[in-house]
Amino acid sequence: MKLKELGIDVEGVTLTDRTKEELLSNLKILMEQRKLWLPYDIELHNSINAIEFERTRTGSFKFYKRNGTYDDLGYALALACFAAKREVKGVIIKV
């Protein structure tokens, strides 16, 4: 991992459906509480909007993206917000 070689403290995350639910729930809460300010960036907004889900018979969620779309920026934002939440509480996050 290149970041570890550079001496940067990083932590790997496996994006399971449960992890995605936690990350995206946190992102939604930050937006609802107006603690997350997003600039108008069409790629970022499209990436967030590309993330879709459905509830399974067991009550959990299954996440996917629409064909021809990219969700990587949406998940990167969700991961960054989750990491920031763990580090600093009560701060408005500006992206």
Show the domains of the chain with their CATH numbers. 15-94 (3.30.420.240)
Per-residue pLDDT of the chain (95 residues; tens, 9 = 90+): 577 788 877 778 889 999 999 999 999 999 999 999 888 899 999 999 999 999 999 999 999 998 999 999 999 999 999 888 765 555 455 54
User: Which residues does residue 36 pair with via DSSP β-bridges, in sequence order?
Assistant: 93
Entry pTM: 0.80
- List of E strands, the chain: 36-37, 51-55, 61-65, 93-94
Q: Pick from 94, 88, 92: which is nearest to 33 by CA?
A: 92
